[in-house]
Amino acid sequence: MEESKIIGILRILENISHIKDIDTLLEQVLFEARKIVNAEAGSVFLIKDNVLSFEYVQNDVLYGSYDNSNVYSYTKKKMPVNNESIAGHAALIKKPLIIDDVYSIDEDKPYSFNRKFDELSNYITKSILSVPLINNRDVVIGIFQIINATDSSGNIIPFTDSDAFLVELFAKQAAVAIEKAVMTREIILRMVSIAELRDPQETGAHVNRVGAYSVEIYKQWARTKGLSKKTIKHNRDILRIAAMLHDVGKVAISDSILKKKGKLSNKEYDDMKFHTIYGARLFKNAASEWDDMAHEISLNHHEKWDGNGYPGKINDISSDKLKLQKGKKGDEIPIYARIVALADVFDALMSQRWYKDPWPESKVFDFIQSESGKHFDPSVVESFLIVQDSILAIWKKFD
Domains (ranges, CATH) in the chain? 2-178 (3.30.450.40), 199-397 (1.10.3210.10)
> In the 8-state DSSP scheme, what is residue 71?
G
Interior/surface letters 373-394, b for 16+ CB within 10 angstroms, e for the rest: eebbbebbbbbbebbeebbebb
pLDDT < 70 positions in the chain: 1-3, 65-74, 195-202
What does the pLDDT read at residue 74? 66
Q: Is 250 a catalytic residue?
A: yes
Q: What pLDDT shows up at residue 200?
A: 62
pLDDT tens track for 166-221: 999 999 999 999 999 999 888 888 877 776 666 666 677 899 999 999 999 999 99
**pLDDT at residue 58, as a whole number:** 92
pLDDT of 67 reads 56
Q: How far apart are CA 261 and CA 302, in angstroms?
A: 22
Is residue 133 within 8 Å of 121, Cβ to Cβ? Answer: no
What's the pLDDT at 18?
82
CA–CA distance, 213 with 304 (Å, rounded to integer): 18
pLDDT number for residue 204: 78
Does residue 110 have a cis bond before it (omega within 30 degrees)? no
Out of 5, 78, 225, 250, the active site residue is: 250
Give CA–CA dist 250/278, Å, rounded: 8
DSSP helix/strand/coil, 277: helix
**How far is residue 138's CA from residue 121's CA, in Å, rounded to a whole number?**
36
Closest CA to 338 of 387, 287, 370, 382: 382
Instruction: Identify the pLDDT of residue 196.
Output: 65
Alpha-carbon distances, residue 239 vs 56, 212, 293 (angstroms): 19, 9, 7
Task: Write down the pLDDT at residue 258.
Answer: 82
Q: Residue 71 and residue 94: Cα distance in Å, rounded?
A: 30
Q: What is the pLDDT of residue 1?
A: 53
Local structure of 228: helix, strand or coil: coil
DSSP-derived pairing of the beta strands 128-134 and 78-80: unpaired
Could you tell me how far CA 342 lies from the centroid of its own chain? Answer: 17
